[in-house]
Amino acid sequence: MSDIIKGPQLDRRGFMGATTLGTGAALIGLGAGSTALAQEAPSAAPQVDFPDERGAFGGGGSAAGAVNRTEMDLFDCEVEGHLPTDLDGVFYRVGPDPQYPKSPEYAGDIPFDGEGHVSMFRINNGHVDYRTRYARNARWKAQHAARRSLFGMYRNPSTDDPSVAGLNRGTANTQLFLHHGKLLVFKEDSPPVYMDPLTLDTMDEEYTFGGKLESQTHTAHPKVDPMTGGLIGFGYEATGFLSKDINVYEADRAGNIFWSVTVAAPYAGMMHDFCVTQDYIVLYLTNMAADAAQIAAGGVHFRYDSSLPTYLGVMRRGGDGRDLKWFTGPNLFCTHVMGGWNEGTKITVDWDGGEGNQFPFFPSLHEPWDPVKGTGYIRRFTVDVGSRTNDRFQSETIFPEIQGVLSRQDDRFHTLPYRWGYLQVTGPNGGWALIDHREGTSKIASVAGYSLSEMTFVPRSKNAEEGDGYLIGLGSSMAEAGRSDLMLFDTSDVDAGPVARVKMPFRCVGQVHGFWADASDIPGANAA
Amino acid sequence: MSDIIKGPQLDRRGFMGATTLGTGAALIGLGAGSTALAQEAPSAAPQVDFPDERGAFGGGGSAAGAVNRTEMDLFDCEVEGHLPTDLDGVFYRVGPDPQYPKSPEYAGDIPFDGEGHVSMFRINNGHVDYRTRYARNARWKAQHAARRSLFGMYRNPSTDDPSVAGLNRGTANTQLFLHHGKLLVFKEDSPPVYMDPLTLDTMDEEYTFGGKLESQTHTAHPKVDPMTGGLIGFGYEATGFLSKDINVYEADRAGNIFWSVTVAAPYAGMMHDFCVTQDYIVLYLTNMAADAAQIAAGGVHFRYDSSLPTYLGVMRRGGDGRDLKWFTGPNLFCTHVMGGWNEGTKITVDWDGGEGNQFPFFPSLHEPWDPVKGTGYIRRFTVDVGSRTNDRFQSETIFPEIQGVLSRQDDRFHTLPYRWGYLQVTGPNGGWALIDHREGTSKIASVAGYSLSEMTFVPRSKNAEEGDGYLIGLGSSMAEAGRSDLMLFDTSDVDAGPVARVKMPFRCVGQVHGFWADASDIPGANAA
């Protein structure tokens, strides 16, 4: 940390403490700091130095692996073990990778505000090529030109440098999907960024499905209907910043939006994931509430308010939205859908979720953050929407012996009854849990000495049976300063360890989520 | 190491032992293995897996840092300390970075045979951009297309895959120079590769100075005459593989070769560096002899023969070469010139050199490799070419308290009397020695916990006094699995430690040598 960017009037450590633990009131008046920065000429861009404090935005910097920032091409990676020669596709990943340190008054910003850095492993014929590129959207380009951070706190435009007022603040850092031949990269506060699925060139900074996307925002977790190949997505704060509106749409397999409806939430809060069944849209409103006062005071977008009820909202697919009904239940904080389906009017959705705040870097309004309450379990929500009088959903914790986050499934079974779910197991015996809902059993894939990122399921072939294939994801070697191996487990025998490891010469850029795309869905993937 | 590429008929460890310790006779018959490989279709390119054995070519692979292979762009690197804002130029580096594992019969090939991977740190206004690219010459392109190694042992075309017969085998992996606006990347067995000095795109795979380069080879260590800005270079084995011919040329500051002469060496042997003074060319023939029998037997190009005399060859610049005279002296094995000059007919050249073989991976003919004899000291050679009867040069070991390799100077003092030399100090108190020839003193720049690569001198400004500026080079953090910092020491106070460190998120690609180019010499470097 050079003293060039140390704020003269502000003790950062004190400020960060306030951000982490405090409320909006503690932050009042700090948002005004951006004005002074704008008066410097771009040529006076400060020397780039991330804070030393690990809790700060990009804290620890390059040496700590907190930032990577390097666009890479590694052709023909080194592979150990036996990579199946008939595996043909791309494993995509994306995560926040701070492009620049924040100005000191915003050094307490949260990791989720890092700019989206996409990586891909192109696997074909026993060979693997690695490539990474930033999503070069408006935000990235403005900061690149200025050689400095121009955006302040997480989803708080009042903290931005005046030079970027009105610019799309999206970071494209959460998840990506390959659909209708396009790699769509998502951040839930903005439209997708469309990147070329092979070159990772940014093709459209704000992809709106040919102007048909009515929402100003888009979830990081759309779903594919395997019966039609269509894409179903939604956005919250859909009609404007802090709005309670939710837009839900469905596009056909060619990306043409043919259904779009906008409904209202009980309040504006985080809606990170949703569930789509064959007949229903299932929304979930968490009590991670958007907080206008905290935002006005220069803080982050959300505040965890345990006094607010969480809601499960259900409506028919293809309807006009007037049938949307919000159900309450146990006040859980759920994040990712493992799977869900409906049998008639009876809906089942499995989530990972805790009893309390799962994101400690967002302030909690009523209580200090409780890691025990934040611990994730698989929560099975059921509700019968056939009853006019029922306004409650039921919740059951299944597989209570397994704690974890980042639940996934065989993505070909979105909307359908499913057998296999996957969970990132937290705790000392961490790894990837393979949950067999039919048999009620589970097993854990792990690698000694490695910390694993989120797993993604890869079908053995496009028409393989559910769950028959591989789990793929990054492992970080704890004894080698975090050096990465891409791990490939065969789901038929995870106890045997990875069937193949792609040995990387460095710690790969971090990720939130990953996605597998079959080569046959990627235009030009196997061009001569 | 997957068994896919294990050779069925050959025990690699046994073979490698023979290569490292043995003679040509031990290798007879192994060169024929390449034929079988050529019969496989390119689509059957083996899974990429470098050998586990650390002594093997690329041994240890990605995990050991033995290979990197990743082309990178890191815009605006993280900088700790104070990078002088008036420093404006590029620090270039190059080193061998094995593109592919060798086929098993050539796994004993030496590190010097890795393909050249160029990296650059563009420093301007307190900011640093990092980029790396392979030199994409004929060899690189052929192997890239085949996804496998096609070239066998070091400088031994008889071991190549038939598909690349006659192709330039050059690896462009040793040193680079910015001259007449072009980044020229050298391997002493081939013409330079011309790369764009900003994009690192390969512009000309075999740069011949507009067809004027008469040599088929080019040293990695040309010199610039600071009085004219011209470039003086040479090539050995200049007229053909294993030839004794040496071509020496001089080009003007625009790269037009205006003098070229070809002379003969007493025998064909390694001539890694040379010295140019204002009036003389000083060649040095080491007893690392080219060995036709060893080559025919499938071995590497050279064999250390302590029974052969080493020679210092001196001729006038600009002459017809007939005045070339070879002098003998103590049979030292010198590698790099620190500096040299002449006063009338009296010539002084400072080298780093040992009493014996400095490259243990080349076989020694008469004795086992002796690390003590290989230890480098600064050897001052003097000779008076004004005497017709003198056929000996004198050698004195100066600064005997310092052991090291990779000697350098302020490159602006090529050909001239000089004060400041630099040496990579080996041993437990390693670092960069700053040698003050005028005062007879020295000091060491080092960083606790870091292993340093070769240093390069950077003038404080283009017209700064000799030695006034910085030493720049990579440091590898031993506690962080080799993670790199680019270190910048101010030569006026190296005891203060680096004035700036560029903190990299990974271990950078390895290097042999580096070069500093002032931005004013790089076309377009400061284009808007």
Q: What is the pLDDT of residues A4-14, one digit of tens each?
A: 333 323 333 33
CA end-to-end span of chain A, whole Å?
Answer: 49
Check if B6 contacts A (Cβ < 8 Å). Answer: no
Strand A394-398 to strand A404-409: parallel, antiparallel, or no bridges (unpaired)?
A: unpaired
pLDDT in tens, B108-147: 999 999 999 999 999 999 999 999 999 999 999 999 999 9
The whole-angstrom distance between B3's CA and the closest CA on chain A is: 9
**What global pTM score does this model have?**
0.92
What pLDDT is recorded for position B32? 32
The pLDDT of residue B421: 98
User: Does residue B76 belong to the interface with chain A, where contact is any CB pair within 8 Å?
Assistant: yes
The sign of the torsion formed by the CA atoms of B495, B499, B505, B506 equals negative
Distances in Å between the Cα of B37 and the Cα atoms of A125, B58, B167, B350, B396 are 18, 20, 17, 47, 52
Name the pLDDT band for B426 (thresholds 50, 70, 90).
Answer: confident
Instruction: Give the strand order in the sheet containing B377-384.
Output: B333-343, B346-354, B377-384, B394-398
Q: What is the mean pLDDT of residues A167-194?
A: 98
- The full DSSP string for B206-240 is S--TTTT---S---S--EE-TTT--EEEEEESTTS
- Those residues with Cβ within 8 angstroms of residue B485's Cβ, 6 or more apart along the chain or in another chain: B80, B447, B450, B474, B475, B477, B498, B501, B502, B503, B504
Element (H, E) at B335: strand B333-343
pLDDT, tens digit, 9 for 90 and up, residues B361-370: 999 999 999 9
**Are B70 and A72 an interchain contact pair (Cβ–Cβ within 8 Å)?**
yes
Band of pLDDT at residue B43, cut at 50, 70 and 90: low
**Looking at this predicted complex, what is its ipTM?**
0.91
A265: nearest Cα among A293, A286, A250: A286
The mean pLDDT of A142-151, rounded to a whole number, is 97
Q: How high is the mean pLDDT of chain A? A: 91
Q: For the residues B213-232, what does the mean pLDDT come to?
A: 98
Among all residues of chain A, which has the CA nearest to that of B42? Answer: A125
Tell whether B480 is within 8 A of chain A (Cβ): yes
Query: Bridge partners of B259?
Result: B250
For residue A3, being part of any structural domain is answered with: no
Q: Quick check: A176 pLDDT over 90?
A: yes
- pLDDT beyond 70 at A200: yes
Q: Confirm or reject contact between B69 and chain A (CB < 8 A).
A: yes
Backbone torsions φ then ψ of B463, nearest 5 degrees: -110, 20
- pLDDT at position A528 is 60
pLDDT at A328: 97
Convert the pLDDT of each residue in A82-113 to its tens digit. 999 999 999 999 999 999 999 999 999 999 99
- State yes or no: pLDDT of A379 exceeds 80: yes
CB contact under 8 A, A78 and B49: yes
Mean pLDDT of A207-232: 98
Compute and round to an integer the Cα radius of gyration of chain A: 22
pLDDT of B170 above 80: yes
A62 close contact with B: CB closer than 8 A: yes
Does residue B18 surpass a pLDDT of 50?
no
pLDDT value, residue B381? 98
Q: Is there a domain that residue B134 lies in? A: yes
Give how many domains chain A has, as a whole number. Answer: 1
Q: Residue A527's pLDDT band (boundaries 50, 70, 90)?
A: confident
pLDDT (0 to 100) of residue B430: 82
- Closest chain B residue to A1 measured between Cα atoms? B80
Cβ-defined contact of A71 to B68 (cutoff 8 Å): no
Q: Which residue of A has its CA nearest to B146?
A: A76
A483 touches chain B (CB under 8 A): yes
pLDDT of residue B276: 98
**Helix ranges restricted to H, B297-403:** 371-374
Q: What is the mean pLDDT of residues B193-218?
A: 98
The percentage of chain B sitting over the pLDDT mark of 90, rounded to a whole number, equals: 89
* Chain B contact present for A81, CB below 8 A: yes
- Interface contact A520, partner B, CB < 8 A: no
**DSSP conformation class of B160:** S
Report DSSP state, residue B376: -
Question: Which amino acid type is present at position A246?
Answer: I
A67 in any annotated domain: no
Cβ pair B62:A49 closer than 8 A: no
CB-based contact A505 B47, cutoff 8 Å: no
* Residue B359 backbone dihedrals phi, psi, to 5 degrees: -125, 85
What are the CA-CA distances from residue B222 to residues A10, A275, B411 (Å)? 54, 67, 11
Is residue B221, in this structure, part of any structural domain at all? yes
SS3 for A381-428 is EEEECCCCCCCECEEEEECCCCCEEEEEECHHHCECCCCEEEEEECCC
Contact at CB, B505 and A79, closer than 8 angstroms: no
How much is the average pLDDT of A337-346?
Answer: 98
User: In this complex, do A506 and B70 lie within 8 Å of one another by their Cβ atoms?
Assistant: yes
A528 touching B, CB under 8 A?
no
What is the mean pLDDT of the segment spanning A178-196? Answer: 98
Between CA B49 and CA A77 the distance in angstroms is 8
Task: Give residue A43's pLDDT.
Answer: 53
Q: How open is the CA angle A458-A464-A470, to the nearest 5 degrees?
A: 25
Rounded Cα distance between B110 and B299, Å, is 10
Measured CA angle at A330 (ends A329, A334), to 5 deg: 100
pLDDT in tens, A230-255: 999 999 999 999 999 999 999 999 99
d(CA B487, CA B446): 10
Residue A6 touches chain B, beta carbons under 8 Å:
no
- Asked if A63 lies within 8 A of B125 by C-beta distance, the reply is no
Q: Residue with structure tokens 């990078």?
A: B83
Of A49, A75, A80, the CB nearest to B144: A75
Contact list, A147 vs chain B (CB under 8 Å): 76, 127
Binding residues of B for Fe cation: 221, 272, 336, 513
DSSP 8-state code for residue B44: G
Q: Are B92 and B120 in contact (CB under 8 A)?
A: yes
pLDDT tens for B348-360 read 999 999 999 999 9
Q: Is residue B9 part of a domain?
A: no
Query: Which of the residues B67, B80, B480, B508 would you substitute to probe the A interface, choosing the one with the greatest number of A C-beta atoms within 10 Å?
Result: B80
Return d(Cα A60, Cα B258) in angstroms, integer.
55
Question: Would you list the DSSP string of B503-526?
Answer: E-SSPPPP-SEEEEEEGGGSTTTT
Q: What average pLDDT does chain B have? A: 91
Range of lowest pLDDT (A380-394, B26-40, B277-291, B467-481): B26-40
3-class DSSP state of B135: coil
- The answer to whether A333 touches A306, Cβ cutoff 8 Å, is no
What DSSP assignment string belongs to B422-471? EEEE-STT-EEEEEETTTTEEEEE--TTEEE---EEEESSTTPPTT-EEE
Assess whether pLDDT exceeds 90 at residue A3. Answer: no
* Cα gap B500→B516, rounded to integer Å: 16
Q: What is the pLDDT of residue B427?
A: 74
Tallying the residues shown for chain A, one arrives at 528
What is the spatial distance between Cα A241 and Cα A159, in angstroms, rounded to a whole number?
14
What is the C-alpha to C-alpha distance for residues A436 and A440, in angstroms, rounded to an integer?
6
pLDDT (tens digit, 9 = 90+) per residue, B46-60? 999 999 999 899 999
The pLDDT tens digits of the residues spanning B89-99 come to 999 999 999 99
Is B409 in contact with B421 (CB distance < 8 Å)? yes
Six-digit token string for A350: 């499995």
Coil, strand or helix at A142: helix
Sort out which chain A residues have CB atoms less than 8 A from B507's CB and list them. Answer: 505-506
pLDDT value at B34 more than 90:
no
Cβ within 8 Å of A, B 128-157: 130, 144, 147
- Closest Cα partner for A176 from A468, A522, A527? A522
- Cβ distance B480 to A480 less than 8 Å, yes or no, reads no
Two tokens, residue B105: 């019969």
CB contact under 8 A, A45 and B480: no
Q: Pick A47's closest partner by Cβ from B72, B73, B79.
A: B79
| Band of pLDDT at residue B341, cut at 50, 70 and 90 | very high
pLDDT grade, residue A148 (50/70/90)?
A: very high
Q: Which residues of A touch B117 (CB under 8 A)?
A: none
Which CA distances in Å does B63 have to A65, A121, A482? 17, 18, 11
Q: Best interface-test mutation with A: which of B1, B3, B40, B48 has the largest number of A CBs within 10 A?
A: B48
Closest-CA residue to B447 (of B405, B424, B475): B475
Distance CA A144, CA B129 (A): 12
B188 located within any domain:
yes
What is the structure's pLDDT at A426?
87
Residue the block writes with tokens 């470097």: B525
The fraction of chain B above a pLDDT of 70, given in percent, is: 91
CA distance A236 to A155: 13
Q: What is the mean pLDDT of residues A133-141?
A: 98
User: What is the H or E stretch that residue A123 is in?
Assistant: strand A116-124
Q: Of the candidates A63, A144, A483, which has its C-beta nearest B63's C-beta? A: A483
Task: Name the maximum alpha-carbon separation found in chain B.
Answer: 65
Contact in structure between A326 and A285 (CB atoms under 8 Å): yes
For residues A283 and A232, the answer to whether their CB atoms sit within 8 Å is no
Q: Which residues of chain B make contact with A72, given a CB cutoff of 8 A? A: 70-73
Rounded distance between C-alpha atoms, residue B224 and residue A84, angstroms: 54
What tokens appear for A201 in the block?
A: 């060139």
Domain-located, residue A25: no
Distance CA A145, CA B369 (A): 55
Inter-chain touch A127–B47, beta carbons under 8 Å: yes
CATH number of the domain enclosing B187:
2.130.10
Task: Compute how many other C-beta atoms are within 10 angstroms of the C-beta atom of residue B28.
Answer: 13
Q: Tens digit of pLDDT for each residue in A25-61?
A: 222 223 333 333 333 344 578 999 999 999 899 999 9
Are A380 and A348 in contact by the 8 Å Cβ rule? The answer is yes
Structural domain span for residue A175: 72-521
- Closest CA in chain A for residue B69: A74
How high is the pLDDT of residue B30? Answer: 31
Size of interface A-B (CB pairs under 8 A): 126
Report the SS3 class of residue B4: helix
Give the gap in angstroms from C-alpha A107 to the nearest C-alpha of chain B.
16
